[in-house]
């Protein structure tokens, strides 16, 4: 088998080494943004999200929860709307995210999807979600289901995020929280602990490296071609 690759520019090919993948010196706590998908007064996705935030703080992360109440529908308000700006600022601040949605009519809720739709794939030269870690959770009113999780996993890939393998689905969520809104001990709770542990581990491993990890040959090639055209035009 020949080792020649005639269609690849070897000068633009990035061959990873131990040095290029060395862990950078990043000392601040992992920054995790948590989103949930219901505005109900007793929202089980919010209660589960709050439980996850407590676990993240215990694991040494800095956790911030975005309250979707008051966020307008996508394209129904200008981008400088205060809630839109708050959401985007928190996304830019974060190094990882937790998404938690109820399952409604076999899918994630509109409240949750609206939050993601307000976060563009790019903001000028910045890609606000690319390369960040992501953990997924859902709550159900009936038997256990994974429809919302599966949808959010596709959405996470579309947003160019590193979605961790583990995930949490809490069935009959109305039975899993006490009157104070705290999650009761159960196998469901243990799974939430598993997911948050895994998220923090992946975030620590990947942070500071994401720009390098998502740097693409095709994009470097395109940039080189555009630069060459500008140089040629300038010399005419």
Residue pLDDT, tens place only, 71-112: 999 999 999 999 999 999 999 999 999 999 999 999 999 999
Distance separating alpha carbons of residues 8 and 231, to the nearest angstrom: 22
Distance in Å from the first CA to the final CA of the chain: 44
Does 132 reside within a domain? yes
Residue 100: CATH number of its domain: 3.40.50.360
CB-based contact 52:34 (threshold 8 Å): yes
**Helix (H/G/I), strand (E/B), else coil: 198:** helix
- 191, 160 contact by CB (below 8 A): no
Predicted pLDDT of residue 17: 80
Per the structure, how many domains does the chain have? 1
Structure tokens at 147: 């429809």
Domain of 88, in residue numbers: 28-235
pLDDT at 107: 94
One digit per residue, the tens of pLDDT, for the chain of length 236 reads 556 777 778 788 778 787 887 777 888 999 999 999 999 999 999 999 999 999 999 999 999 999 999 999 999 999 999 999 999 999 999 999 999 999 999 999 999 999 999 998 888 778 889 999 999 999 999 888 899 999 999 999 999 999 999 999 999 999 999 999 999 999 999 999 999 999 999 999 998 888 888 888 888 888 888 888 888 888 77
8 in a domain, yes or no? no
Distance between CA 55 and CA 50 in Å, rounded?
A: 9
Q: Which residues pair with 224 in a beta bridge?
A: none
Q: How does DSSP assign 40-69, residue by residue? A: -TT-HHHHHHHHHHHHHHHTT-EEEEE--T
Is 3 within the bounds of a domain? no
Give me the residue label for tokens 């709550």.
Answer: 139
- The answer to whether 131 touches 213, Cβ cutoff 8 Å, is yes
| Residue spans of beta strands (DSSP E) within the chain | 31-36, 62-66, 96-102, 133-139, 162-170
Establish if 231 belongs to a structural domain. yes
Whether 74 is covered by a domain: the verdict is: yes
CA distance 100 to 109: 10
Residue 3, pLDDT score: 61
Q: How far apart are CA 65 and CA 129, in angstroms?
A: 16
| Spatial distance between the Cα atoms of 134 and 152, rounded to a whole number of angstroms | 10
On whether residue 163 sits in a domain, the answer given is yes
Residue 22 lies in a domain: no
E strand spans, 140-227 = 162-170
Global pTM reads 0.87
Is residue 9 a part of any domain in this protein? no
Would you say 101 and 45 are in contact if contact means Cβ atoms under 8 Å apart? Answer: yes
Please give the structure tokens belonging to residue 177. Answer: 């929280």
């Amino acid at each position: 088998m020949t080792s020649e690759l005639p269609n690849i520019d070897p000068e633009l090919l990035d061959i990873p080494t131990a040095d290029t993948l060395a862990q950078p010196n990043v000392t601040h706590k992992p920054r995790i943004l948590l989103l949930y998908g219901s505005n109900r007064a007793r929202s089980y996705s919010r209660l589960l999200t709050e439980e996850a935030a407590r676990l993240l703080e215990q694991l040494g992360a800095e956790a911030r929860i975005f309250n979707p109440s008051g966020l307008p529908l996508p394209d129904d308000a200008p981008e400088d709307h205060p809630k839109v700006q708050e959401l985007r600022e928190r996304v830019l601040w974060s190094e990882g995210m937790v998404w938690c949605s109820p399952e409604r009519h076999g899918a994630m809720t509109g409240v949750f999807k609206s939050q993601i739709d307000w976060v563009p794939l790019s903001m000028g030269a910045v890609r606000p979600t690319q390369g960040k870690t992501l953990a997924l959770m859902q709550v159900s009113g009936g038997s256990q289901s994974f429809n919302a999780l599966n949808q959010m996993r596709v959405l996470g890939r579309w947003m160019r995020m590193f979605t961790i393998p583990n995930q949490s689905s809490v069935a009959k969520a109305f039975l899993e929280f006490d009157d104070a809104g705290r999650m009761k001990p159960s196998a469901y709770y243990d799974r939430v602990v598993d997911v948050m542990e895994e998220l923090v581990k992946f975030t620590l491993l990947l942070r500071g490296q994401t720009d390098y990890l998502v740097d693409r040959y095709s994009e470097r090639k395109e940039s080189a071609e555009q630069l060459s055209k500008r140089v040629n035009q300038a010399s005419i």
